[in-house]
Structure 1
Amino acid sequence: HVYAQPGEYIVTLVIATAGGCSSSSTQLVNVSQPSGCQASYRYYPIDSLNMLLSNTIQFVDQSYGSPELWFWNFGDGTTSYEQNPVHEFAQFGEYMVCLTIYNLDSTCYDNICLPVWVGNPAGGCQATFTFFPADTLNLLVSNTLQFMDQSSGNPIFWHWDFGDGTTSTEQNPLHIFPNEGSYQVCLSITGADSNCFSDYCKQVWVGNTAPGCRAMFYYYPADSLNQSNNIQFADQSLGNPTEWLWNFGDGITSTGQNPLHLYQQPGIYHVCLAISNPTAQCYDTVCHEVSVNAILDSCENVFSASVSGLTATFDGSMVSGDTASFTWEFGDGYTATGNQVAHTYIIGGLYTVTLTTVSTRGCVFSSASMIFLGDTALVQTIQGTIRAGSLPVSGVVLLMPQGGIWNWGAQTTAIDSMGVYRFEGVMPGSYHLLAVPYSVAGDTMAYLPTYYGNVIFWEQASAITLGAAALAYDIDLVACNGIIPGDALINGNI
């Protein structure tokens, strides 16, 4: 409709159906307001913990054009001249709330009326959202945030205000902020049923997440027998997060801190946890591959060995009982197949035996162990002194097979009051020695764990090969010069 002249007009819409149903709605319309002046507002329940039962609404003016005066009509017979009033409605229901803005020189005048639902009589219609940095590899400098709608009530329309002058109508928008800093982000939702209308705002921090903020989690089957598709996830994050968003890799998400999730099928799932604490400027994301229903365990094999002279008999099996092919490597260049095999070595000594299985599922798994054949009189004693100048040392020494074959195991012995250690009954082979000082003259930070060869890295360590005359294997501890003690984080995946 084209009006002949500017002014205020009362506009009424009347509808009627063939079945005799009729209704009308009336609004005050201002025509041809001065350019650049536009009334706008948002609102939300004051009781953020009990939105569905709150009668008290915070109204926030968001008008353009620098108005100087505000007039609110709350649709329940009460009014206000405040810019951002808080109003308590007497009952739940729908109210037509109107805001009129103007200034003293009459260059700005506008009016807007919106239906406001108090107490959410539609039931379950509540706007809320979470967010996390989109760049999970560079969280500290990422200005791009992924927003995720978490609203209830099956909304069909979304309106995002990112607090930087831009908006979006997507359900889960990806937004690039112009600068680091704090932004007030608001989400408004509307449902197919006009009774559903809700608004939610939170402070969002962009970029430069706080130090000490780190997303971490572990998981385990809820069934103690480890044969369950029901997985318990446990948040282990640092930085005191207040919000969590889990993506379980099967299309399902959760905002709980420690969710229990039931997978429909066994398998390997890419699970991600995003954490946030806007107040502490903490945002982080971590992802792990999660094995459900012991898929990996079904690949494992084990074997035993018995030795008679230079002949060893091996018996292998699958942990899961699955059918598989068995391939043996005896450590002397010879191989064999079958789950039960015997092999005669040409000379005695220490050998690494490896069993590789391929299950009917196509899963390949290898395990290894060491066996000794020959004269047990060849076993020797390894001993020496651990020194830190002339200072007394307390601690332990570890004896490990060279190359880190850990299922063979590391032996441990204590350092006595004179700094001397001793291993007896050591079979022939090549080993590394590592001295681990607990304290030197009472100082727990003065010296570092040190390998034989007086180095702190095993790649540089000197290996011990038994079979020659017994020697004293002394270690001079490396001083902890210039290292400042303090809190730190070491973490990883096994």
Structure 2
Amino acid sequence: MISFSGFNAQPFFLSVRLCDINVQKTVTMRKILLFALVLSGLITTAQAFIPDGNCRAAFKYAVNDSIKTLVPATAINFHDRSEGNGIRWFWDFGDGNTSNEQNPMYVFIHPVGGPTVKISPYRTVSLTILTADSCKSFYSETINIFDGTSHNNPMTTARFKYYQTAYDSIAGTASFQLTNLSEGDSLKYLWEFGNGKTSTEREPAVTFDFSRTEWKVCLSVTGTDEVTETFCDAVYIVDPNIPVIDPVYCETNFGFTVNHKVQTFAPALVLDFYSKAWPEPVEWNWDFGDGKTSNEPNPMHIFDFPILKDSTVGFPNPFRTVTLTVKTTTGCIATVSQTINIYMDQMPVDTTVQCEALFKYYRVTDLITFPEVAAFRFLDVSQGKVESRLWQFEDGSTSTDAEPVVTFDIFKPVQKVCLTIYTADGCQSTFCQPVYVSNFPVDTVYDKPARYYTMKIESFYPPQMSSCAGWAKAHVYMKDSLIQASNYKWSDGTEGPEVKGLCPTNSYSVKAIAPDGTHISTTFIFNSDGTITEIPVNWTVSGSRDKLMVQVEKANPDYTVEWRLCDGSVVKGDSIALSLINCGSGASNLILKDASGNEVYSENISMKTIATKLNPEIELPAVKLFPNPISDVLNIQYSGKRLNEMQVEISDLAGKRVSLQNFFDVESGQQIGLNVNSLRQGIYLCKIRSGNQIIKVEKLVK
């Protein structure tokens, strides 16, 4: 909407940016111009805003006094202040010149008048934006280019926002509070809710039924200038019991197994592939690296061995790079690649990593940039003899340098960066990770755990025996090396690494302590032929007595670990503090579920089921929350090793998330103040985790 009003003869010649010109003549010329404009009744355009979806164009500007010109002119810096994830900007400065920069600087040349020539000091500057979700919005403002001030008479604009206040599944209704953001003098309001009801209140509340999930609400405002503007927006009913998934984030991976059942006419490797993605995928695109593709979620593929050996070429390349690209229910697209040795079932597989893309980054402080951007240097630290590389940045730009320097917009705090490397032996690897423009981690390459323990069982059952005459011995390995563990204890009460009298089809457990104090365990079923079938979960306990942590290793990565806390609530994670599950009862507190949500294993872990020898020197994370009950600020005091990231989630008793905050580079002894003033009175559950490790779960009262 564009409104017009009479010219306001306010003094607008206040601070002219000129260099080496006669100021007195210019002032005289401006007086003549002001008089001419008053006589002519010149009118000017006020601000205009045209939305097209869930975005809003807007900008601010300021005179740049540091720019000197040879002719009378005014330099103005423009700053984009639009709402929405903008990807394109189009500026029109009202004098035939344009720009596609997000925050341009433009020099307005002052017009030259004459005895019979009228000049206008005003230029209408407009900005059109395009966002990532294809929303377009237009905004314009009329500027006095002589002194850089706006000439905008009071205008009438309509605008509102809303938030859902209640959801009644029994009555089939949802309530909303409308927030009025309109501008103007002495406004009158008329709300139309699309269900036949209206309101003249400034900020009414409205209730909609479930007959539709989307209702159109319109607000018409009328000001003292008798100009009426109408703004409409869609109000969506949201079920709080359905989790909200970030539509821009997804991840994928895949695995494979050798298929020995399929017979081929020529030498070949047959693999069964299965995809893993989050959220739920709806489209799959497999590229097997040999010119063949598939759109199945779990395809079977035959890799034909090379038939001819050309001595001039050498041994045929045994590697194929398999790439999976998925599209999820949220529209997000994710890609992952793995290099496979197609001779894996014919000869020993080289377990040495052929290549692995990896990079670090840090902020460049000695590079002069605009205040709105931040410069980062990226370092290629990949494994393998890299011959070429390709950097891909979220804004669409690329680089082939080993250490490129890239600038990011500080108003977009997280940017995704991917590095793809190519080595001389045909290996290709891609590594992607988010770059934190604000509060970013100092070093984004995380060390892998220094120790990884497994327990293997040696077993035997005498032939033609029908009694409990089985025998087993436990061995503890750190990676592939046998170590001397102690405090072996079996579920039947036997102490030591060996146990006798095992009965076929019965399940047994054994626990031991590694030299560093880590607890290792395994559970298996003793078969009638003397072999064992391991139950697909292994847990270890580490830490001092008052800071014990339980860590779970899953045999199947598709399995999910759930923990039943002492208050009956259930949380998910690969590790948890023992104090949260050590309830003194015999009920199962470790629950293992498959990809379909079926329970495949459960166990009770408590102080009674573990040995007592612990290493007091191991430092594990701990969090103290206070005060409780809380008022406006929740204090979070952390102790333990440095965390690259700590996530604080607060939810109500119905499980609905009400707050989610991420903190980076958290040091031991650091205290963080979290503003919880917006929380209503009630009981909440606060979960604090780092990666898959649950550090703290505590109820809060406000």
TM-score category, normalised to shorter length: under 0.3
- TM-score, structure 1 as length reference: 0.27
- TM-score, structure 2 as length reference: 0.20
The structure that has the greater radius of gyration is: 1
**Which structure is richer in relative contact order (CA contacts within 8 A, separation 6 or more)?**
1
